[in-house]
Structure 1
Amino acid sequence: MSNAQTNPAPAQIPVTILTGYLGSGKTTLINHILSAPHGQRIAVIENEFGEAGIDNELLVQDSDEQIIEMNNGCICCTVRGDLVRILNELSEKKADGRVKFDRVIIETTGLADPAPVAQTFFVDDDIRDQYMLDAIVTTVDAKHAQSQLDQHHEAQEQVGFADRILITKSDLVDDTALQNLQSRLRKMNSRAAMIEVNHGNTDIEEILDIRGFNLNAILEIEPHFLDDVAHDHDDHITSFVFTEKRALDPDRLEEFLTVVINTFGTQLLRYKGVLHVDGMEHRIVIQGVHMLMGSVPGAKWGAAEQRQTKFVFIGRDLPKEIILKGLETCIAE
C-alpha cells in the first residue's frame, strides 16, 4: 500500500484516549489513576480538573501551563486550547527534566467524538514522531447507557471507536439488564474487550499497553473479532468482517479502498485488517480512522500456515454489502 506509515521510534511516548458519555465515570477513573500507588509515571490531560481526589495530592502547580504534579509521580494538566500545543509542551518539559512521565492519558469531554483527538496522532508530524497512540478506552454507564445510546450519536461513536470498553455502575442494574447491554455493545463493536469497573477501581494494566492503535504490534486479529458480529439491529453503529483465503490484488485493493474512504470516510469510525496480498510473503497490517489510513508489513507467513485476510469495519450506517462485494472484486485471479 503506497500510504504505509513508518515504524515508530523506540522513544515514542504511549498515549491512551479515555472517552465515554457524560456521567459514565471517566473522572472517577482518572482520580483513581492519579492517586493509586501503581508505580507508573502518567501524564493525564483533562479538559477540567475533577473536584474530588486531587487537591490533597497536589505538590507543584504551574498556573501558566496548567500542570499539576502528583506525589505518586503522575502529573495532570488541563486543555483549554490546542491539544497539539500542550502535547508539545509536555514533551519539551520531559526532555529537559522539568516533568517526568512515561505515558499519557487524555480524557475527552463527555459529549466529544473521539475522532479529532485520535486524528491528531495521524496528521501532525511532530506529534506522530513523539507519541504513539496506544488505544481508545471507553467508559459506559450500565444504568443509563441504553437510553444514551438510543438518543445520542456521540455515545454510539464512543463505543464504536473503543479498543476496550469499561462498564461502570454495573452494581446498579440486574443481571438481565447487564447482559442485554453487553450484547448490544458487542453488536456495535465486536472487537473491543469489555470489563466491569466499580467506583473507578481497575488495574492499570487493563487500560494501558493494549496496542489497539500500534500498527506494528498487530500481527493477527484475535479470534474474538469474528464473534457476535452484528447482522440485524437498530443501532446506527455496526461492525462486520470480511474474510478471504485467496490472495488480494494490491492494485485493485488500493483503488477500491481509496473509493470507499473518499465516499464513506466520515461514516467509517475504525477499520483494521491483516491482509493476505498477492506476491507478498508477509502480512499487510492496515488500519484507519475516518479518511486517514495507514499500513505496515507484519510478520512473515509460516511455510505451513493458512494465509487469510481478516478485515474488520466499524462505522455508522455503512453499506455492508457494497463494501463486502467490492472487496471480493479485489481477489487476485
Structure 2
Amino acid sequence: MSREDILPEERLPASLLTGFLGSGKTTLLSRLLRQPALAETAVIINEFGEIGLDHLLVENAPEQPVLLDSGCLCCTIRGDLIDTLRSLFRRRVKGGVPPFKRVVIESTGLADPAPILQTLMSDPLLADRFRLDGVIATVDAVNGMSQLDRHFESVKQAAVADRLVLTKTDLAEPATLAALQARLKALNPAAPQILARQGEVDGSRLFDAGLFNPALKTPDVQGWLRAEAYEAPRHDHDHGHDHGHEHGHTHEHGAQSASDRNRHDAHIRAFCLTAERPLDWERFTRFIETLIARDGDKLLRIKGVLNVAGFDTPVAVHGVQHLFHPPALLPAWPDAERRSRLVLIVKDLREEEIRQEFSPVTAN
C-alpha cells in the first residue's frame, strides 16, 4: 500500500443492509424504497446461491414492479457479486438501466457481512467506482437478545454496523428493549440506534453515513468515525474479555446466568487508536500489513481518518479482515482537529498489544 494508492474520494456510495433472520430487512427495504432518500438507488438482493424469495417481496410491493416508481432498480445476484456490480455499472454507463446514484446490497440473514464488504474492496474496478457508504444492521427488538446469545453471525452484523435499526419495537416489552439497547451500546458504541415502528424509518437517517455530506459537499469525519464514542471511561472489567456482560439478565442474587457468561459478544472489542503527530505512511503501512497478515481473520472492521506526513488534507482508510480498501484523500479537514483516529473492531485480540505496535508509526 504505497502513497500512490491514495485516491480522491469520488465514487458511487454503496450501503450494505444486513441483519439476522426475521429481523425485518425486506420489510424495511420495501418501505424505504418509497421514500425520496432512496430515489435513484439500485438494489441488489444477495441470496448467496439460495432460491431467492425476498426479491419477489420487494419487486411486488404495491405500484413497484422491477423498475420501481422511485427510479430504483431491483435485481438478484445470479452469479458472483463482483460480476453483478460490474455489469450494473456498465449498464448504467450505456443507459441500459435508469441512472442511479447509490447501491444498496441486502444480505441474507445468515450471512457474515465480511465477504460482501471484502468484495467491494478486493476488485480494483469496483474499488475505483464504488465506495462503502455504510453498514446498516437490523436487530429484532423482541428476539434480538436470544439471537445475540445463540448466533455469532448476529453479533458480527451488529458489531460492524454504522447504523443499527431496532425493528418490532412496538411489540417489545420496555425492559426487553432497554436491555437490548444497552447491550448493543456496549457492543458497538459508535453506531446510532434508530427505532423502527412497523418497518417505518426515515431513510435520510440511514444513508450518507460515509465521509461526505452530499448537501454540503464536505467531509463528515465525526459522523463517519465517531471516534469519541470509544474514548469514554471504561469499567475495570471492560479491559478483559467480559465486555458487554453487565447488560445481561441476572439471577435473584445478582449472579450471572450461564448464557451471560458465554455470550458471543464477550469475544468482540472495539477501541480507537489516536496519534497527535502526523503519521509516517510507510510505518503505518507496515503496521497494517503486519496486523492483517497475523490477525486478519480477527479484524472484523477497521476505519480511520489519518493525518499523514506530506499531505495537507486527511487520508481515510477502512478494511475488513484481510482486505483494505484503497485509501482516499479527503478534500479538507472538517474542523481544527488534526489527530489521527483509527477505530478497530476485533475478535479475541488484546487491545494493549495493538496499541504498543501502533505507537512507533508517527513521523519523527
**Distance change in 2, residues 1:261/1:53 (3 Å):** closer
Higher strand content, 1 or 2 = 1
**Distance change in 2, residues 1:292/1:218 (3 Å):** farther
1:264 aligns with 2:301: no
Q: What is the CA–CA distance in structure 1 between the aligned matches of 2:275 and 2:127, rounded to whole Å? A: 32
Q: 1:171 is matched with which residue? A: 170
The one-letter code of the counterpart of 1:87 is L
Q: What is the CA–CA distance in structure 1 between the aligned matches of 2:332 and 2:130, rounded to whole Å? A: 27
Task: Tell me the secondary structure at the aligned position of residue 143 of structure 1.
Answer: coil
Q: What is the CA–CA distance in structure 2 between the aligned matches of 1:212 and 1:49, rounded to whole Å? A: 34
Name stretches of at least 5 consecutive residues in structure 2 with no aligned partner: 244-262
**Distance change in 2, residues 1:146/1:17 (3 Å):** same
**Distance change in 2, residues 1:300/1:211 (3 Å):** closer
The offset of 1:162, in angstroms, is 0.7
Q: 2:73 is matched with which residue? A: 75
1:25 aligns with 2:32: no
Q: 1:7 is matched with which residue? A: 8
The one-letter code of the counterpart of 1:144 is N
User: What does 1:1-333 correspond to in 2, within 5 Å?
Assistant: 2=2, 4-9=5-10, 12-36=11-35, 40-46=39-45, 47=47, 48-50=52-54, 52=57, 54-55=59-60, 57=62, 68-100=66-98, 101-211=100-210, 217=219, 219-220=221-222, 221-222=225-226, 224-226=228-230, 231=239, 232-233=242-243, 235=265, 236-278=267-309, 281-293=312-324, 294-298=326-330, 305=336, 307-332=338-363
Q: 1:63 is matched with which residue? A: none
Q: Give the stretch that moved more between structures: 107-116 or 315-324.
A: 315-324
Task: Tell me the secondary structure at the aligned position of residue 198 of structure 2.
Answer: coil
Q: Give the stretch that moved more between structures: 113-122 or 226-235.
A: 226-235
CA contact (8 A) 2:6 2:329 kept: no
Q: Give the stretch that moved more between structures: 199-208 or 222-231.
A: 222-231
Task: Tell me the secondary structure at the aligned position of residue 170 of structure 1.
Answer: coil
The offset of 1:331, in angstroms, is 4.5
Cα deviation digits, residues 250-283 of structure 1 (max 9, x gap):
4433322221111111111111222344565443
Q: What is the CA–CA distance in structure 2 between the aligned matches of 1:321 and 1:291, rounded to whole Å? A: 21
The one-letter code of the counterpart of 1:6 is L
Task: Tell me the secondary structure at the aligned position of residue 349 of structure 2.
Answer: coil
The offset of 1:89, in angstroms, is 2.5
**Distance change in 2, residues 1:74/1:49 (3 Å):** farther
The one-letter code of the counterpart of 1:140 is V
Q: What is the CA–CA distance in structure 2 between the aligned matches of 1:261 and 1:170, rounded to whole Å? A: 38
Q: 1:64 is matched with which residue? A: none
Q: What is the TM-score when the length of structure 1 is the normalising length?
A: 0.84
Cα deviation digits, residues 215-236 of structure 1 (max 9, x gap):
x945454354335576442522
Aligned residue-pair number: 322
The one-letter code of the counterpart of 1:137 is I
The one-letter code of the counterpart of 1:169 is K
Higher helix content, 1 or 2 = 2
RMSD across aligned positions (CA) = 3.0
The offset of 1:124, in angstroms, is 1.3
Q: 1:65 is matched with which residue? A: none
CA contact (8 A) 2:8 2:330 kept: no
**Distance change in 2, residues 1:325/1:32 (3 Å):** same
The one-letter code of the counterpart of 1:226 is Y
Quick one: percent identity of the two aligned structures? 37
Q: What is the CA–CA distance in structure 2 between the aligned matches of 1:195 and 1:91, rounded to whole Å? A: 31
